[in-house]
C-alpha cells in the first residue's frame, strides 16, 4: 500500500484561500437553505401536487419531506469525509448531484401520492448532494488557511450554514407563494455556477492516503443510523390507538436493530485496518469534547425551530389578525432576529478564537443559549414581540459564539491526514442530533398537549354546536395531527371539523370556530405546558454542553511537523 503524505501546500496565489472560503460557504449555505426551505413552502407544495398531507395515510409523505433530507445527509457525511482523506477532498466535494436533484424536483410531472413520492425521492437525492457539499468543506478550508486564520474562515462558513436554515424559511415562503416549483428551481443556477467555479479554482492541498474502503463499517453504520432515525421519526406518530408510537413493535424493532448495528459498527471499526470512523481521534481531548459539545448543542437547539414555528403559526400570528394561510411566511420573517444574532456573533467569535482559543467563547455561548431558553419559558403564550425578538437575538448571538470557535477548535485539533474523516464525524453528530432533537421536542410537546387538549377541544366544539359524536372523534385525535395542521399553515379547526359539519352550524358558531382567535385560545394553556417541558429539557442539555465545551482544555493546534515525506508500506 502506497501512502502519499503532502504536508507543504502547493504554491498558490495568496487570494486562493478566499476563493476557497467563498466557494465552500456558498456550497454549505445552499445545502442548509435546502434543509429548511420546504418547511414554510410545504402548504404550497402539497397544493401543487394536489395532496392533502393531513388526510389519513398521508403522514408518511409529510414526515419524509421534513426529515428525509436530514437523514440521508447525516448518514453519508462520515463516509464522504473519509473518502476525501483517501482520494482527495476536492474530488469528494461538488455541486453536481445537488444541482441535478434540484432540477429533478422542479420537473415533478405527477400529482397525488405519486407526485409526493417523486418529491421524497428527489429530496433524498438532494440530501446526497448536500452531503457532498458539507462533508469535506471544513477540511478544504482548514487545508487552505493557516492556523492563525482558521477560526475566522470556519466561523464565516459555519455561520453561513446555520443561518442558511433560517434563510430557507423565508425564501421558501416567498417562492412557494409565487410557484411551488421555484422552491427547487432557485438552487439550479447557483448549483451550476458552483460546479463550474469549483472545477476551475479548487486545488488539492491536503494530504491523501490511499486505503481500502471499509465496506463493513460503511454498511453497518449507514443501516444502523438510518434505522435509528427512522425509529425516531415514527416514534412521534400515533400507533395502536396511542398518541405516539414509541412502544409500537415496528419502532422498537427499528430502534433495537439500529442500535445493534451501531454497536457492531464500533466493534468492526476497532479492528479494521483502514476504518471509516477514526476511533483513535477520540484520544484527542479537544476533538472529543468539541464533538460532544457539537452533539449536545444540536440536541438542545435542533427542535427549537419547529417549536417556534408552531408557536407563531398556531397561536401568536392568528391572535394578531393574520390568516392561517399567511402565517408560514410571517413566522419565518419574525424569526429573523435569530439569524441576525448568528451573523453578528459567528465571524467575530471565530476571529477571537484564533487569538484566545475556543474554551471561554464556546462555553459562554452554551450558557447564554440556556439563559435564552429560560427567558423564552418566562414569556406568556401571547407575548409582546419586542421581548421575543430580543430573546431570539440573544439566542442567535449565543449560538454564534459557540459554533464558530467550537468548529475551528475541532478542525485545528485534527492531524492533516484525518481532517476529512474528523470533519465528517463532527458533521454527522451535528445532523443526527437535529433529528433526535426534533423527536424529543415533539414528544415533550405532545405529552404536554395530551394532558388537557382532548377535553378542552371536545367541550369547546360541543359548546359551539358541533354534534357530540363528531366532537368526541376530533377530541380523540392524536395531538400531533393538530400540531402538523398548525405547522403547515392550515386552519386546524376548519381542517378537522370539515366543511360538511361546519355548513350545518349557525353562522355565529361557524364564524367563531374558524376565526383567528378560537384555536389559539383553545390550545394556549396545553401548548404552554408542553413548551415548558421542551425548554426545560433544552436548558439541561445546553448546560451539559457547556460543561463538555469547558472540558476541552486550553487552545490546541495539532502539529504535523510540516515535513514532506513519502512512505511506502508493503
Split into its structural domains, the chain has a count of: 2
Query: What are the grid coordinates assigned to 339, written together?
Result: 439569524
In whole angstroms, give the CA distance from residue 278 to residue 186. Answer: 37
Q: Is the CB of residue 92 less than 8 Å from the CB of residue 419? A: no
Give 570's pLDDT tier (boundaries 50, 70, 90).
Answer: very low
Instruction: Read off the pLDDT of each residue in 326-339 and give the average, rounded to a whole number.
Output: 86
pLDDT tops 80 at residue 373: yes
In whole angstroms, give the CA distance from residue 58 to residue 70. Answer: 20
Continuous segment of H or E residues that includes residue 565: strand 565-568
- Selection from 216, 80, 211, 94 nearest residue 135 by Cα: 80
> Is the same domain home to 305 and 161?
yes
Q: Is the CB of residue 422 less than 8 Å from the CB of residue 411? A: yes
Contacts of 471 (CB under 8 A, 6+ apart): 457, 458, 459, 461, 462
Q: How far is CA 175 from CA 182, 270, 438, in A?
A: 6, 48, 25
Domain range holding 319?
Answer: 2-213+274-450+527-568
Q: Which tops the pLDDT comparison, 452 or 543?
A: 543
In whole angstroms, give the CA distance from residue 425 to residue 529. Answer: 36
Asked whether residue 508 is domain-assigned, the answer is no
Q: What is the pLDDT of residues 248-294, one digit of tens each?
A: 999 999 999 999 999 999 999 888 887 877 888 888 999 999 999 99
Beta bridge partner(s), residue 565: 5
Instruction: Read off the pLDDT of each residue in 72-94 and give the average, rounded to a whole number.
Output: 83
Among 273, 289, 308, which residue terminates a domain?
273
- Selection from 347, 357, 361 nearest residue 412 by Cα: 357
In whole angstroms, give the CA distance from residue 241 to residue 225. Answer: 28
Q: What is the pLDDT of residue 137?
A: 84
Handedness of CA 141, 85, 72, 103 (dihedral sign): positive
The number of helix segments (H) and strand segments (E) in the chain equals: 25, 2
Query: What are the grid coordinates assigned to 456, written together?
Result: 378542552
Query: What are the grid coordinates assigned to 544, written together?
Result: 451539559
Give 114's pLDDT tier (boundaries 50, 70, 90).
Answer: very high
Asked whether residue 402 is domain-assigned, the answer is yes
> Is the same domain home to 234 and 169?
no
Asked whether residue 299 is domain-assigned, the answer is yes
> Is the same domain home to 264 and 406?
no
Q: Is the CB of residue 129 less than 8 Å from the CB of residue 99? A: yes
pLDDT tops 60 at residue 561: no
Helix, strand, coil abundance in the chain, percent, nearest 5: 75, 0, 25
In whole angstroms, give the CA distance from residue 134 to residue 76. Answer: 10
- Least confident interval from 93-107, 191-205, 471-485, 551-565: 551-565
In whole angstroms, give the CA distance from residue 224 to residue 266. Answer: 11
> Is the same domain home to 133 and 219?
no
Contacts of 432 (CB under 8 A, 6+ apart): 74, 225, 229, 295, 298
Query: What are the grid coordinates assigned to 533, written together?
Result: 417541558
Q: Is the CB of residue 400 less than 8 Å from the CB of residue 159? A: yes
* Burial (Cβ within 10 Å: 0-12, 13-18, ≥19) of residue 389: middle
Q: Assign 566 to helix, strand or coil.
A: strand
In whole angstroms, give the CA distance from residue 496 to residue 54. Answer: 9
Q: What is the pLDDT of residue 49?
A: 93
Contacts of 444 (CB under 8 A, 6+ apart): 530, 533, 534, 537
> Is the same domain home to 40 and 9?
yes
Residue matched to cell numbers 394578531? 320
> Is the same domain home to 230 and 313?
no
Among 246, 273, 300, which residue terminates a domain?
273
Asked whether residue 446 is domain-assigned, the answer is yes
Q: Which tops the pLDDT comparison, 135 or 108?
A: 108
> Is the same domain home to 207 and 308?
yes
Q: What is the pLDDT of residue 566?
A: 30
Q: Which tops the pLDDT comparison, 312 or 213?
A: 312
Q: Is the CB of residue 28 less than 8 Å from the CB of residue 133? A: yes
Q: Is the CB of residue 343 less than 8 Å from the CB of residue 159? A: yes
- Beta-carbon neighbour count of residue 360 at 10 Å? 15
Asked whether residue 261 is domain-assigned, the answer is yes
Residue matched to cell numbers 401571547? 382
Give 3's pLDDT tier (boundaries 50, 70, 90).
Answer: very low
Q: What is the pLDDT of residues 118-175, one digit of tens each?
A: 999 999 999 999 989 888 888 888 888 887 888 888 878 877 777 787 788 888 888 9
Q: Roughly how many angstroms between the first and final C-alpha of the chain, as a whole number? A: 6
> Is the same domain home to 122 and 206?
yes
Q: Which tops the pLDDT comparison, 473 or 551?
A: 551
> Is the same domain home to 267 and 284?
no
Q: What is the CATH number of the domain that holds 440?
A: 1.20.1250.20
> Is the same domain home to 258 and 289?
no
In whole angstroms, give the CA distance from residue 498 to residue 490. Answer: 12
Give 297's pLDDT tier (boundaries 50, 70, 90).
Answer: very high
Asked whether residue 505 is domain-assigned, the answer is no
Query: What are the grid coordinates assigned to 496, written together?
Result: 378537522
Largest Cα span, the chain = 87
pLDDT tops 70 at residue 423: yes
Asked whether residue 353 is domain-assigned, the answer is yes
What secondary structure letter does DSSP report for 516? T
Q: What is the pLDDT of residue 7?
A: 37
> Is the same domain home to 79 and 140?
yes
In whole angstroms, give the CA distance from residue 345 to residue 308. Answer: 21
Asked whether residue 459 is domain-assigned, the answer is no
> Is the same domain home to 185 and 261?
no
Instruction: Read off the pLDDT of each residue in 461-466 and give the average, rounded to a whole number.
Output: 89
Give me the count of residues in the chain. Answer: 570
Give 542's pLDDT tier (boundaries 50, 70, 90).
Answer: very high
Among 235, 256, 273, which residue terminates a domain?
273
Amino acid at each position: 500500500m502506497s501512502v502519499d503524505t503532502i504536508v507543504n501546500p502547493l504554491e498558490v496565489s495568496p487570494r486562493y484561500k478566499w476563493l476557497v472560503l467563498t466557494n465552500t460557504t456558498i456550497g454549505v449555505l445552499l445545502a442548509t437553505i435546502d434543509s429548511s426551505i420546504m418547511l414554510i413552502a410545504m402548504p404550497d407544495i402539497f397544493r401543487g401536487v394536489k395532496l392533502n398531507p393531513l388526510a389519513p395515510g398521508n403522514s408518511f409523505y409529510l414526515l419524509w419531506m421534513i426529515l428525509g433530507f436530514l437523514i440521508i445527509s447525516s448518514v453519508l457525511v462520515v463516509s464522504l469525509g473519509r473518502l476525501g482523506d483517501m482520494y482527495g477532498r476536492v474530488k469528494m466535494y461538488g455541486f453536481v448531484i445537488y444541482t441535478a436533484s434540484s432540477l429533478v424536483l422542479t420537473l415533478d410531472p405527477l400529482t397525488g401520492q405519486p407526485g409526493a413520492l417523486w418529491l421524497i425521492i428527489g429530496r433524498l437525492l438532494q440530501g446526497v448532494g448536500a452531503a457532498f457539499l458539507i462533508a469535506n468543506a471544513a477540511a478544504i478550508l482548514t487545508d487552505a488557511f493557516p492556523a492563525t486564520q482558521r477560526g475566522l474562515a470556519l466561523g464565516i462558513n459555519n455561520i453561513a450554514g446555520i443561518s442558511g436554515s433560517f434563510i430557507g424559511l423565508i425564501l421558501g415562503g416567498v417562492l412557494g407563494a409565487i410557484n411551488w416549483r421555484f422552491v427547487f428551481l432557485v438552487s439550479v443556477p447557483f448549483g451550476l455556477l458552483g460546479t463550474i467555479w469549483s472545477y476551475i479554482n479548487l486545488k488539492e492541498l491536503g494530504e491523501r492516503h490511499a486505503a481500502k474502503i471499509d465496506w463493513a463499517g460503511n454498511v453497518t453504520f449507514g443501516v444502523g443510523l438510518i434505522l435509528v432515525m427512522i425509529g425516531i421519526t415514527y416514534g412521534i406518530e400515533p400507533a395502536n390507538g396511542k398518541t405516539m408510537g414509541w412502544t409500537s413493535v415496528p419502532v422498537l424493532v427499528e430502534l433495537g436493530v439500529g442500535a445493534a448495528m451501531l454497536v457492531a459498527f464500533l466493534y468492526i471499526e476497532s479492528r479494521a485496518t483502514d476504518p471509516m470512523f477514526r476511533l483513535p481521534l477520540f484520544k484527542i481531548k479537544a476533538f472529543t469534547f468539541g464533538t460532544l459539545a457539537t452533539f449536545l448543542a444540536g440536541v438542545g437547539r435542533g427542535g427549537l425551530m419547529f417549536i417556534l414555528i408552531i408557536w407563531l403559526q398556531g397561536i401568536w400570528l392568528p391572535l394578531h389578525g393574520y390568516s392561517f394561510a399567511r402565517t408560514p411566511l410571517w413566522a419565518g420573517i419574525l424569526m429573523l432576529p435569530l439569524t441576525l444574532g448568528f451573523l453578528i456573533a459567528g465571524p467575530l467569535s471565530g476571529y477571537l478564537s484564533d487569538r484566545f482559543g475556543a474554551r471561554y467563547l464556546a462555553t459562554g455561548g452554551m450558557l447564554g443559549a440556556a439563559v435564552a431558553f429560560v427567558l423564552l419559558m418566562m414569556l406568556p403564550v401571547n407575548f409582546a414581540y419586542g421581548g421575543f425578538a430580543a430573546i431570539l437575538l440573544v439566542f442567535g448571538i449565543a449560538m454564534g459564539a459557540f459554533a464558530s470557535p467550537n468548529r475551528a477548535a475541532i478542525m485545528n485539533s485534527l492531524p492533516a491526514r484525518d481532517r476529512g474523516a474528523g470533519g465528517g464525524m463532527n458533521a454527522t453528530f451535528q445532523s443526527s442530533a437535529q433529528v433526535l432533537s426534533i423527536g424529543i421536542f415533539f414528544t415533550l410537546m405532545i405529552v404536554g398537549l395530551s394532558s388537557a387538549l382532548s377535553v378542552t377541544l371536545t367541550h369547546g366544539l360541543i359548546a359551539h354546536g358541533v354534534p357530540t359524536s363528531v366532537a368526541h372523534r376530533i377530541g380523540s385525535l392524536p395531538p400531533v395531527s393538530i400540531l402538523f395542521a398548525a405547522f403547515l399553515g392550515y386552519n386546524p379547526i376548519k381542517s378537522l371539523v370539515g366543511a360538511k359539519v361546519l355548513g350545518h352550524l349557525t353562522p355565529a358558531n361557524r364564524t367563531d370556530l374558524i376565526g383567528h382567535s378560537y384555536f389559539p385560545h383553545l390550545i394556549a394553556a396545553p401548548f404552554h405546558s408542553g413548551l415548558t417541558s421542551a425548554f426545560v429539557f433544552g436548558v439541561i442539555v445546553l448546560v451539559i454542553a457547556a460543561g463538555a465545551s469547558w472540558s476541552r482544555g486550553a487552545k490546541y493546534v495539532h502539529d504535523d511537523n510540516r515535513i514532506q515525506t513519502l512512505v511506502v508500506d508493503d
